[in-house]
Structures are given as structure tokens and as C-alpha cells.
Amino acid sequence: MPDPKQYDEFCEQLQCATGRILAYINALLLNWNDAEDVFQESCVVLWRKFDEFQPGTNFVAWALRIAQNKVMDFQKSCARRQTFFTPELQTSFMAEILRPATSAEDAGLDALSNCMKELGAADRQLVQLCYGDGVRVREIAVQMGRSPQSVHNSLRRIRMTLFECIERVIEREDRR
């Protein structure tokens, strides 16, 4: 059983890094549905390797390296698809994502946290399943008796709701 403090720290760091990890994967794959699936697989690997993470080291760099490996695995499995980015360019993207967050980005993360609280229970549960628990969209669809496309549509709607909420919160903060 992992140390509860270490578990909490891991959860917090994963939650804070989620946006960067997903943005990195999406930038490499250029297809949101594929990026979501690879993100889910990356989260599963992160949790499996929970014991390998060294507290005090750069969590985002560690998570992005795992995500990069999952992207390359995905691209190999879809060899018929054109790959746009060399490993060197992928590493360059990673360096950009790893740069320190600005105060505006920190404000965005705070706004996201507040906006998540405004979601309905079912939407929060869906976000938790997909982004927190690492469950694949296809598995969620089966559990919920819905089609994968329906789950993707719900996630797209939730992301738009969160995006609009974040914009409103940041706009209010800018007026102060």
C-alpha cells in the first residue's frame, strides 16, 4: 500500500499536469479523439509506474516522456497514417510544455478547479473516469450503455463548458 501522503502528492501533480500532457499529445497527433485515447493510455501507465516516480523530481517531464512513448506506440500501430513530427520535434514540443507556467497559466488552472466544481455530478464523474481514472472512452461507453461517439460528444460539450467558464472567471479577475 502506497504512503497516503505520496499518493496525494501524485494525484495533485497528475491533476495539475493533465492539461499539459493532453495538449502535448494532441499537438503530436493532430486528432482530438486519438489524443484522448492516447492520454487515457498514458494515465494508465503513469498509475502503473506510480512507485517509480521520485517525489521532488519534475513530474511533468516524467509524465511527458511516458506520453511521448505512448504516442510513438500509437503511431507505430497506425503505420498507414502519416507522421508529421520527428522525435526531435516532439522533444522540442516537450521543452516548450515544460517551461515554467506564467501567472496567467496558474490563474487558468485555478479557474479550471473552480469551474469543475460548477459541473453537474454526472459530468464531473465522466471527467474523473476519463482524465482521473484513465478509463478508455470505449470502456466508459460500455459501462454507461452509450455509444463511444456519445461519450466523446459529452466530453466535447464538457470541455467547451469548462473553457467558457474559465474565460469568464479570468475575465472577471482581469477587471479587478
- What pLDDT digit, counting tens, does each position of 15-50 carry? 888 888 988 888 887 777 888 899 999 999 999 998
DSSP state of 128: I
User: Which pLDDT does position 139 carry in this prediction?
Assistant: 87
Measured distance CA(141)–CA(107) in Å, rounded = 33
Instruction: Please write the tens of the pLDDT for every residue from 70-120.
Output: 988 888 887 655 455 566 666 666 666 655 555 555 566 677 777 888 889
pLDDT computed for residue 32 by the predictor: 77
Write down the pLDDT at residue 27. 80
Give the CA distances from residue 47 to residues 14, 42, 155, in Å, rounded to whole numbers and listed in that order.
10, 9, 22
Mean pLDDT of 114-141: 81
Cβ neighbours for 114, distance < 8 A, ≥ 6 positions apart:
165, 169
Q: How far is CA 36 from CA 16, 18, 39, 110, 144, in A?
A: 17, 11, 5, 23, 18
pLDDT (mean) for 60-68: 91
Residue found by looking up cell 464531473 in the block: 124
Say which residue, 145 or 2, is predicted with more confidence.
Answer: 145
- The confidence score (pLDDT) of residue 166 equals 81
Statement: the pTM of the whole predicted model exceeds 0.75: no
**Under 8 Å between Cβ of 149 and 36:** no
- Sorted by where each starts, the structural domains of the chain and their CATH numbers stand as 4-98 (1.10.1740.10), 103-175 (1.10.10.10)
Provide the mean pLDDT of the chain: 80
